[in-house]
Structure 1
Amino acid sequence: MTPAFAGQKESATLQGAVQSGGSGLPLYKVSLYIAYLQGGPDWKLLGTGTSDGTGRFFITYAVPPGLAEAPSLLFVQAERGPVLLASAISMGPTPPAFVVVNERTTVATGAAYAQFVESRKIAGNPVGMLNALPMAANFANPFTGAVGGVINSLPNGTDTTTLATFNSLSNAVASCVAEAINCSVLFQAATPPGGAAPTNVLQAIANIIKNPSYPGYPSIAQDPVFLLSQLNPIYQPALTQRPTSWLLFLKITGGFYSTQDFSNLMSGPGNFAIDGLGFVWLNENYDPAPPTHFACAGHRLIKFHPWGQPVPGTPYIGGGLEGAGWGITLDPRGNVWVGNFGFQDPACLTLPVAAKNNSVSLFQPDGVPITGAGGFTQGNISWPMGTVSDPRGTISIANCGNDSITRFPGGDPARAINIPLGPTPSPGNPQIKPFGEVIDAQGNLWITGNRSSSVYVLSTDGVLIDTIPGTYNGTPVFSHPIGNTIDSQGNVWVANSDWLDAPCPTKDVLGTAQNPSVTLIQAKDRKPHPGSPFMGGGITLPWGVAVDGDDTVWVFNFGAKPPTKPTELPINVVPTGIARLCGVQTKKCPPGLKVGDPISPATGYQSDAIERITSGAIDPSGNIWITNNWKIKVDPNFNPGGNAIVIAVGAAAPLRTPLFGPPIPFK
């Protein structure tokens, strides 16, 4: 055998097998494609072959000149009739010596590249394309066709239904491989609302990931994708009942474990910042501990590869990290800023001293701390929450503890200024509780007031130019808001928890959320959009909110119900869902939907991999990164923190990162 691209030879041969459930598939036309990430065609055929009676194939092809210097990806597609199986096999000039193409590699490729599949072609932004390759390998091994090690192991495996969902999608493809008539059913089921039917299996899988709930759930019991998965269930374990969605929620703890302990990577993950290459930064509330231990302030900053693997050297410590809350941002230099909220249980107050809650920490892109042990405290920082950078590197910090904003112009703490949003509160009793922050296209800063149920707008020079009250024409529009975000047209979306009074430091007990919602404030007049606030689609306890490259709105819930007292721990846990709403680009929504209408079913997109979420962020591949901040079933007297993040693979329209204002699509 001649390894592909060996030495300087002008031709090379790729070997492999086309299989279904381990059995060879004969007479499939197998094609090898290259997708150049820069400096060449985005999709080019290199060579073809035909599988023999055992499913084996050989493709001899001419090696493109200069391939070693050209960033590229290689894909294999095998087709016969309506069946098209696929696999993303390698990056760079040297592909593997042997590959297997089957149902699992097809679902893995279709999910990881869902936002980039167009018929049989796979092309898109170079960052997202490159990062999707190892993400696909999390689900299926391109060399053997076996289930991927990440999805098959803890904290996934049998601990969540994600593996079963993946296998059920693979079984739906297997039904198409077994009987051509089933392909027609699959294509019809995978036809997007108002769109064209797919013409191949790869496109069908991509469509299902992008439109993951079959219309009518849960009132219509039948889901044709689920029914197809029952016809030829060669991959197990598989689902025994239809899901709320076909999204693949990959759970990440930083290792092959689920159990909480002192040795965990994280506890109480709070919020994300994603850099230009798709690497994901995460802050945490607490230091890792068992669930029966009290929770002390976290002292870690964590960085992940774009496919979920922790970066060597993480977690990073030092720099004054002290129980970070929701505040984390990248600046234009690639440095990472973290707000130190001082999260801790009362039992930690003297271990050895109480955590501080009056600083931000700064780290280099390589994780080396720039700040010293006390962080930056200039500008009267107090219980910091939202922390954002504008395009010029000015850092704004929402001081939940004293109703103000601290600004570091150009990222320089020596020039710090403090901007009150209202009257100076009595110590420990803020009346506004600034929380979420977002920058608009003009550089203005929009801040949610969690206690005041209002939104505040600061100009680029720090002047309070608007206070948007919680009622409009006698109708409530804000109710204990937390997170906020902005769409491509400058409209601001606000998550109304209708429940949380943030502990900075005092808090009121508000009971259950009666009317959780999302409010849209129009850029043109800073007035609520007609029909706003919006409800439905699985909005239960909204905390974070994000807008993707299609201006679709994603809402992240802190569970289905508020945490209960220790004596009221629920026996039956209701899964957490994420909600999806139609945004201002209604042409990107299913036909007939208006701004704010739910796209997700009434349950939201639920998964038992998800717990209580505080934040979600969208990367250049279209993956949604989700924090499992608290456990669903929790005793607040002990460690409430979750020990995982979750990735909804390929779910959203990709974004160019990092974000310094309105989202920029990154197709």
Structure 2
Amino acid sequence: MHSTQGLLTVAMAAAFFCTLAGCGGGGSTSTPPPVTPPPVTPPPVTPTNPGVSFSGKAMAGTAQPIVGAVVQLYAAGTTGNGSASTALLTSTLDTDATGSFTVPAGYACPAAASQLYVVIRGGQVGASPDNSAIALASALGACNQIVSGTKFVVNEVTTAATAWGLAQFLSAGGNVGATATNTQGLANAFATVTNLVNPMVGTSPGAAFPVTGVSPAAKINTLANVLNSCTAAASACGQLFSATTPSGGSAPANTLDAALNVVRNPGSSIAVIYAQQASGAPFTPALTVAPSDWTLFINYAGGGISVPSGVGVDSTGNVWVASYAGVASKYSNTGNPVFANGITGNGLMSVYSLAIDAQDNVWLPNQQSTGGFGSVTVLNSSGQPISGATGYSSGGIYFPEAIAIDTNGTAWIVNNGNSSLTLLSSSGQPLSGAKGYTSSQLEFPVTVAIDGNHNGWVTNYSDVDTVTKVSADGTQFTSYACCNMPDGIAIDQRGDVWIANYAGDSISQLASDGTVISSGYSDMKASINHPQGMAIDGSGHVWVTNYRGPSITELAGSAASSPGQILSPAAGYARDAKLLEAYAIRVDASGNLWITNQGSSLLTEVVGLATPVKTPLIGLPQTP
């Protein structure tokens, strides 16, 4: 028998339990609110291509820091030349009281090899108020090549070098971009910038500038001094922007766009721009008189170059030069000789031309040979011969003078000695019979270019003043009277044929069917003076070397509203470069022009002046 007290204790316990847990049976109970779990913090996301930390300093001139400038790091765009770049810093970064800044690690590069550059905008110099017209840039290089802790300088010199080196990839507003298929050309352009300026200290030239080259520091410093007039004193910016406004174009709003306008319009307002330098300009050495134009050039020697003739650019941007003295020279895209004394032997003798095939093999026709009638030497990209000890000599080769490679790999060789053509396969086997193709229509042929239908167009350097179209099988020869001692020849993207009239001081243009569009565009010998070499750039513009004039000439191409219009100044471009008997010319994938000078045995690079072209040049020029 249970006691009353025990039953009461049990009842009270049960009631207490029901209060906590809730009991059924018709009673009303209160339900506690649901428990919200604590928030889960996701793990930090590591960028696929994280960038390292580096620091920099923004300077106006050599001694004045730019304080409170906004810093942004960019990756170059990939959707076209001058396309929108990608901003990599998501938080605001300003320069401090000394002009310094530090970019933290962890920013996400679009690709490991994305080309990076930094732009600083605005800021104060000395006691001046914030100057919104300041925009200075520096090209840093590939994301995966920047070393942690590196210190960079951003100033007017780095800006001028960036504008010249990246001229074909830079657009207004500080965008840098290339096509997705021209990463090599863009990378080489960035390398050109570091050839022009040392980004660690902000001085010209770069730390690895070739000892065999002549530094363009004086012209770079001069443009930097022009920009400094605005960065150091906002009151001078309006005058600078007025001086750097292109004809029919818009005025720049900042110093980077002003620099780009100068570089893109090198023949405009030369003296007015030069005069923008303030007294006591900070960068030296500088030009003491206004230049002939604002083209930037570098003359290279070394590498065995001796009476150079042909020139070509391979797929990675290396430049090959043939010398009449029997030397093949190879230079890096920044002008460093790859072989100190060049390559000799292997049949090389009296070379006037060269061509590079799709495998980057270099073909050089030897007008003479020991005990023979000439040969063709073929070197691989490492400079090793693949044509035997004396070169290819079968197929009717007879004092060969020029060569071109077709898209199918066929090499067309012009035999000046007996006015014939020899076609060789990529392995050197004759494709044109034992004696080559012959015709009475060929008279002392000197150059050849291949059209989109595999026809060869040959210039006849004689009194007949014709060019001859030859079918690939050698059954059809068609000549067109068009010219005056025709020499250099090039075919553009539309198939139009352009010919340098050496004796006529003019340039002829033929349609793809041979119709003579013009028997000679001329500027009354102001710049076109015994034209020799020819090249077509990615925009279809025509570039000409003047063998008896110290300049190059640019003409509007076949797609222009006025084909043949001379676009260069009256005296031509690059007169300050002291071109001497300029012979051949080629455009690379960065927009640089490469010119051989027979009279001075120099290789001249004109930086960023032309629209990029896919290299090597095989068949018609293509946009890379």
With the length of structure 1 as denominator, give the TM-score of the two structures: 0.78
Does the CA contact (< 8 Å) of 1:244 and 1:604 recur in 2? no
Q: Which has the larger radius of gyration?
A: 2
Aligned-partner residue type, residue 320 of structure 2: W
Q: Structure 1 residue aligned with 2:499, among 494, 514, 536?
A: 494
Letter in 1 for 2:322: N
Counterpart of 1:486, as a letter, is I
CA offset at residue 314 of structure 1? 7.1
Task: Using the TM superposition, name which of 230-239 and 435-444 deviates more.
Answer: 230-239
Q: For residue 261 of structure 1, what is the aligned residue in structure 2?
A: none
Secondary structure of 1:324's counterpart equals coil
**Matches of 1:10 and 1:658 in 2, distance apart?**
34
1:237 aligns to what?
285
1:604 counterpart residue number: 572
2:184 to 124, 127, 137: 127
State the Cα deviation string for residues 401-429 of structure 1 (Å, max 9, x = none). 111111114543244534445349xxxxx
Report the equivalent of 2:53: 13
Please state if 1:379 is matched with 2:395. Answer: yes
Q: Distance in 1 between matches of 2:438 and 2:235?
A: 64
Q: Partner residue of 1:659?
A: 617
CA contact (8 A) 1:112 1:649 kept: yes
Q: Is the 8 A contact 2:204 2:220 kept in 1?
A: no
Pair 1:306 & 2:333 matched: yes
2:509/2:519 contact within 8 Å kept: no
Alignment of 1:55-94 (within 5 A): 55-64=99-108, 70-80=112-122, 81-94=132-145
Alignment of 1:285 with 2:324, yes or no, is: yes
Instruction: Report what 2:72 is aligned to.
Output: 31
1:250 maps onto 2:298 in alignment: yes
The change in CA–CA distance for 1:193 and 1:438 in structure 2 (over 3 A counts) is farther
SS at match of 1:443: coil
Which of 421, 443, 465 aligns to 2:477? It is 465
Once residues 277 and 612 of structure 2 are traced to their aligned partners in structure 1, the CA distance between those partners, rounded to angstroms, is 29
Structure 1 pair 308/479, CA: closer, same or farther in 2 (3 Å)? same
Assess, with a 3 A threshold, how the Cα gap between structure 1 residues 359 and 34 changes in structure 2: closer, same or farther: same
Distance 1:240 1:90, change over 3 A: same
Cα distance, 1:449–1:421 mapped onto 2, change above 3 Å: farther
Deviation track 1:605-632 (CA, whole Å, cap 9, x = no partner) reads 112342221111000000000111223x
Secondary structure at the aligned position of 2:392 is classed as coil
- Contact 2:460–2:467, Cα closer than 8 Å, also in 1: yes
Residues 662 and 193 from structure 1, CA distance in 2 versus in 1: closer, same or farther, beyond 3 angstroms? farther
SS of residue paired to 1:614: strand
Q: Does 1:391 align with 2:407?
A: yes
Q: What is the Cα deviation at residue 449 of structure 1?
A: 0.8
- Partner residue in 1 for 2:262: 208
CA distance in 1, matches of 2:588, 2:596: 14
C-alpha separation in 2, matches of 1:118 and 1:268: 39
1:577 aligned to which of 547, 551, 556: 551
With normalisation by structure 2, the TM-score equals 0.83
Give 2:343's aligned residue: 316
Q: Does the 8 Å contact 1:318/1:372 carry over to 2? A: no
Distance in 1 between the 2:428 and 2:134 partners?
A: 59
Equivalent position SS for 2:74: strand
Q: For residues 436 and 385 of structure 2, what CA distance do their matches in structure 1 show?
A: 27
Who is 1:534 aligned against?
522
Moved more, 612-621 or 327-336: 327-336
Separation (CA, whole Å) in 2 of partners of 1:282 and 1:57:
44
**Equivalent residue number for residue 87 of structure 2:** 45
| CA distance in 2: counterparts of 1:357 and 1:282, whole angstroms | 22
Cα distance between partner residues in 1 of 2:495 and 2:301: 35
- Give me the whole-angstrom Cα distance separating, in 1, the residues matched to 2:556 and 2:49: 53
Equivalent of 2:377 in 352, 355, 361: 361
Structure 1 residue 270 displacement after superposition:
1.1
SS of alignment partner, residue 611 of structure 1: coil
Superposed displacement of residue 535, structure 1: 3.4
**Structure 1 residue aligned with 2:356:** 330
Aligned residues: 554
Say whether the 8 Å CA contact 1:609–1:646 is kept in structure 2: no
> Which residue is 2:366 aligned to?
340
2:362 partner amino acid: V
* One-letter amino acid matched to 1:79: R
Which of residues 220, 228, 231 is equivalent to 2:276? 228
Cα deviation for residue 187 of structure 1 reads 3.2
Q: Are 2:212 and 2:336, in contact at CA under 8 Å, matched by a contact in 1?
A: no
Match of 1:156 in 2: 214
1:629 equivalent to 2:598? Answer: yes
Q: Secondary structure at the match of 1:168?
A: helix
Alpha-carbon offset, residue 79 of structure 1: 1.3
Aligned to 1:517: 506
Residues 455 and 335 of structure 1: CA distance in aligned 2, closer, same or farther (over 3 Å): same
Aligned Cα RMSD in Å? 2.8
Say if 1:252 and 1:466 are closer, same or farther in 2 by CA, change over 3 A: same
Show structure 1 runs of 5+ residues with no match.
Answer: 1-5, 216-221, 255-263, 287-297, 343-352, 425-430, 470-476, 499-514, 561-575, 588-593, 632-641
Distance 1:237 1:377, change over 3 A: same
Q: Which of 270, 273, 278 is equivalent to 2:312? A: 273
Deviations 1:145-169 (A, max 9, x none): 1211466966414xxxx43222211
Instruction: Work out the percentage of aligned pairs sharing the same amino acid.
Output: 31
**Higher RCO, 1 vs 2 (CA within 8 Å, ≥6 residues apart):** 1
Structure 1's 182 and 652: CA in aligned 2 closer, same or farther, altered over 3 A?
farther
Tell me if structure 2 keeps the 8 A contact 1:46–1:62.
no
Residues 197 and 663 of structure 1: CA distance in aligned 2, closer, same or farther (over 3 Å) = farther
Paired residues of 1:174 and 1:232 also in contact (CA < 8 A): no
Judge conservation of contact 2:47–2:107 (CA < 8 Å) in 1.
no
Paired with 1:20 and 1:548, the residues of 2 have a C-alpha distance of 36
CA distance in 2, matches of 1:147, 1:139: 6
Contact 1:378 1:416 in 2 (8 A): no
1:478 is matched with: 483
The residue identity in structure 2 corresponding to 1:547 is I
Given the superposition, is the C-alpha separation of residues 131 and 29 from structure 1 closer, same or farther in structure 2, using an over 3 Å criterion? same
